[in-house]
Amino acid sequence: MLQVAIAEANLGLAEGGVPIGAAIFRADGTLISSGHNRRVQDGDPSAHGETDAFRRAGRQRSYRDLIMVTTLAPCWYCTGLVRQFGFRTVVVGESETFRGGVDSLQELGVNVIDLDSAECKTLLRGFIAAHPEIWNEDIGVD
């Protein structure tokens, strides 16, 4: 599942954007949607990887049994989305570069599976080193 999110992150990088990807799966592993951070591409500060995948999934009757997969731990904004719609499982590629709302989700009883992926770390850290100002804008640091 993480490979789908990584492929999205690479797509975003190729477009000149922040390389963070996400995907939403059913519990049986069926892919519903995927997306990536499009903030730079679309000039839309709300277009994070998770929100892009979420919008592309369209309306779902319930999110309880869906799995949100993302290459990076969700920020506060995306943590709110997970909480609001009731996802119970979130798979993160890594949470070392950015911890986001992992602890908060765990306190809420969300099952957070951290894959500690070296590929995800390398991908994002390369971008941050090259474009620190874009990264800081992404996580709301000024």
Residues that bind Zn ion (CB under 5 A): 48, 75, 77-78
**Least separation in angstroms between CB 18 and Zn ion:** 10
Do 53 and 33 contact (CB within 8 A), yes or no? yes
**Least separation in angstroms between CB 48 and Zn ion:** 3
d(CA 69, CA 60): 16
**Least separation in angstroms between CB 124 and Zn ion:** 13
Q: Measured from the CB atom, is 2 or 138 closer to Zn ion?
A: 138
DSSP per residue over the chain, as a string?
Answer: -HHHHHHHHHHHHHTTS---EEEEEETTS-EEEEEE--HHHHT-TT--HHHHHHHHT---S--TTEEEEESS---HHHHHHHHHHT--EEEES-SSS--TTHHHHHHTT-EEEE---HHHHHHHHHHHHH-HHHHHHHTT--
50 counts as catalytic: yes
Q: Measured from the CB atom, is 18 or 78 closer to Zn ion?
A: 78
Q: Measured from the CB atom, is 2 or 22 closer to Zn ion?
A: 22
Catalytic residue from among 8, 50, 96, 137: 50
**Least separation in angstroms between CB 136 and Zn ion:** 14
Q: Measured from the CB atom, is 6 or 75 closer to Zn ion?
A: 75
Which residues are marked as active site?
50
